[in-house]
């Protein structure tokens, strides 16, 4: 099994292969679900397999034929991946026009023409409208793969023309053997997986010591802001370092855990079991009402920072200033 064959994809993969065998693959698939489940890996695996000249019995690419070698080299003429030109920016109409032209040409290898859009929710309005025409009248041999963790941000007109493949966090019996084989000894795979909301690939990125350390530093710094030992303006710096969206997801998950700890001395589930004693301290210090307000504020902060161009440092400054002022 190679790295693209993730055990929690098995059932979805088999379903698609059955449809392929019955010649019932649609022209557009929307791969949706939380981050860290390997949707993009799945989409690439599918594209590669459909372009392969002699797939194996499970439907996977052979890895040997000319198509496979071109795919691996990133030069397959019948495959076109589309991403925002810059990180965090949008997919523009020019990119979609080029893509639609590409899909209209005859395939060079006589099989599929495949486009992969990721993250598809970054299509701007004009680009989405331009894509719609191709979705309404797709060339016979084309397949569009749209990958997104936020399907609700796609126009309904685009969504409704795709068949949705929904990815959900797998159960621990599928994930844990895979994860344990990949994290270094000494790291708590259960805590990693819980913190990642059950998403195995996210858990694996947390196994990178640097991230795990940054998360702990943020939690300690947040505690210091709460207790008046750290100036919120100075604290902002550490929040904007690294992956801002991830930092804010952590913040949200702490606030949720704090509420769980406020409601019960032994909550059945915590997303951050390793931070239990720190979070319990936060829970004890605050009235329930304030904890819910702060969760709302953290969610708003996350949404604004991830989906708009508003300056994150200013938003964080206001949020942390409120936190410091509430004590
Ligand atoms: Zn092949």
Mean pLDDT value across residues 75-92? 89
- Cα 60 to averaged position of ligand 1 atoms, centre (Å): 8
Q: Domain check: are 305 and 216 in the same one? A: yes
Ligand 1 centroid – CA 40 distance (Å)? 19
Centre of ligand 1 to C-alpha 70, Å, is 10
Residue 223 lies in a domain: yes
pLDDT of 212 > 50? The answer is yes
> Does a structural domain hold residue 117?
yes
| Ligand 1 centroid distance, CA of 52 (Å) | 4
In a domain, 190, yes or no: no
58 located within any domain: yes
Residue 61 scores a pLDDT above 50: yes
Mean pLDDT rounded to a whole number for the chain: 91
How confident is the model at residue 109, as a pLDDT?
84
Say how many Å lie between the first and final Cα of the chain, rounded.
53
Tokens of 130: 């331009």
Cα of 27 from ligand 1 centre, angstroms: 22
Of 159, 163, 146, which is closest to residue 20 (Cα–Cα)?
A: 163
What b-and-e string marks burial along 228-265, b requiring 16 or more CB atoms within 10 Å of the CB?
eebebeebbebbeeeebebbbbbbbbbbbbbbbbbeee
Banded pLDDT at 1 (limits 50, 70, 90):
very low
8 Å CB contact between 4 and 44: yes
Q: Among the three residues 166, 192, 223, which one is the final residue of a domain in this structure?
A: 166
Instruction: Tell me, yes or no, whether 193 lies in a domain.
Output: no
User: pLDDT, tens digit, for every residue of 223-234?
Assistant: 999 999 999 999
Distance 17 CA to ligand 1 centre (A): 16
Tokens of 142: 């084309």
Q: What is the DSSP string of 271-309?
A: S-GGGHHHHHHHHHHS-HHHHHHHHHHHHHHHHHHHHS-
Distance 236 CA to ligand 1 centre (A): 49
- Residue 203 inside a domain? The answer is no
Crossing angle, helix 209-226 and helix 312-325, to 10 degrees?
50
pLDDT tens sequence across 279-302: 999 999 989 999 999 999 999 999
Is the pTM higher than 0.75? The answer reads yes
Q: State in Å: Cα 244 to ligand 1 middle.
A: 39
Structure tokens at 315: 């938003």
Does 25 lie in the same domain as 119?
yes
* 104 alpha carbon – ligand 1 mean position (Å): 24
Name the 3-class secondary structure at 322: helix
DSSP state letters, 131-145:
HHHHHHS--TTEEEE
Ligand 1 center from residue 49 Cα (angstroms): 7
**Is the residue at 15 inside a domain?**
yes
Q: What is the CA radius of gyration of the chain?
A: 22
- 177 CA to middle of ligand 1, Å? 29
Can you give the pLDDT at residue 39? 97
Taking the centre of ligand 1 as the mean of its atom positions, its distance from the CA of residue 77, in whole angstroms, is 15
Residue 116 in contact with residue 110, Cβ under 8 Å?
no
In a domain, 41, yes or no: yes
Domain containing residue 25: 7-166
Cα 56 to ligand 1 centre (Å): 9
- Determine the distance separating the centroid of ligand 1 and the alpha carbon of 161, expressed in angstroms: 30
- What is the token pair recorded at 276? 């239990």
The count of domains in the chain is: 2
Q: Which residue has the tokens 């493949």?
A: 165
CA 251 to ligand 1 center in whole angstroms: 44
| CATH number of the domain bearing residue 72 | 3.40.50.300
DSSP 26-73: -SEEEEES-TTS-HHHHHHHHHHHHH-SS--TTS---S-SHHHHHHHH
Dihedral sign (CA 181, 184, 185, 191): negative
Nearest Cα residue to 185 out of 207, 163, 158: 207
Q: Which of 45-49, 249-253, 300-304 has the highest mean pLDDT?
A: 45-49
- The Å distance, Cα 71 to ligand 1 centre, comes to 9
The DSSP secondary structure of 253-266, one letter per residue, reads HHHHHHHHHHH-SS
Q: Indicate the residue among 136, 166, 196 that finishes a domain.
A: 166
Sign of CA dihedral 280, 285, 288, 292: negative
Q: Which of 186, 131, 137, 191 is nearest to 159 (CA)?
A: 131
Distance 24 CA to ligand 1 centre (A): 21
Same domain, 215 and 149: no
Alpha carbon distance 258, 286 (integer Å): 10
Q: Which residue has the tokens 């893509």?
A: 99
Q: Which two tokens stand for residue 158?
A: 């685009």
46 CA → ligand 1 middle, Å: 12
């Amino acid at each position: 099994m190679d790295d693209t064959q993730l055990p929690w994809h098995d059932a979805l993969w088999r379903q698609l292969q059955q449809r392929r065998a019955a010649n019932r693959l649609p022209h557009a698939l929307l791969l949706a679900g939380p981050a860290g489940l390997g949707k993009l890996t799945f989409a690439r695996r599918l594209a590669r397999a459909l372009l392969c000249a002699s797939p194996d019995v499970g439907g996977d690419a052979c890895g040997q034929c000319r198509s496979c070698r071109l795919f691996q080299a990133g030069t397959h003429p019948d495959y076109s991946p589309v991403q925002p030109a810059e990180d965090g920016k949008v997919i523009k109409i020019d990119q979609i026009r080029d893509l639609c032209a590409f899909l209209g040409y005859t395939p060079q290898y006589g099989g599929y023409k495949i486009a992969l859009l990721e993250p598809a929710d970054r299509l701007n309005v004009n680009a989405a409208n331009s894509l719609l025409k191709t979705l309404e009248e797709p060339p016979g041999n084309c397949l569009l793969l749209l990958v997104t963790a936020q399907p609700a941000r796609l126009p309904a007109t685009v969504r409704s023309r795709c068949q949705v493949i929904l990815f959900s966090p797998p159960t621990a019996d599928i994930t844990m053997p895979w994860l344990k084989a990949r994290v270094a000894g000494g790291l708590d795979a259960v805590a990693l997986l819980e913190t990642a909301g059950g998403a195995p690939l996210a858990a694996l990125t947390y196994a990178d010591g640097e991230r795990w350390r940054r998360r702990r530093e943020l939690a300690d710094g947040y505690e210091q802001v709460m207790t008046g030992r750290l100036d919120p303006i100075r604290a902002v710096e550490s929040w904007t370092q690294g992956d801002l969206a991830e930092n804010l997801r952590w913040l949200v998950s702490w606030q949720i855990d704090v509420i769980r700890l406020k409601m019960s001395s032994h909550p059945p589930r915590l997303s951050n079991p390793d931070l239990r004693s720190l979070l319990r301290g936060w829970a004890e210090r605050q009235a329930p009402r304030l904890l819910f307000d702060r969760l709302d504020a953290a969610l708003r902060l996350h949404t604004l920072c991830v989906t708009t161009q508003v300056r994150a440092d200013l938003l964080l400054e206001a949020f942390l200033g409120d936190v410091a002022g509430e004590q």
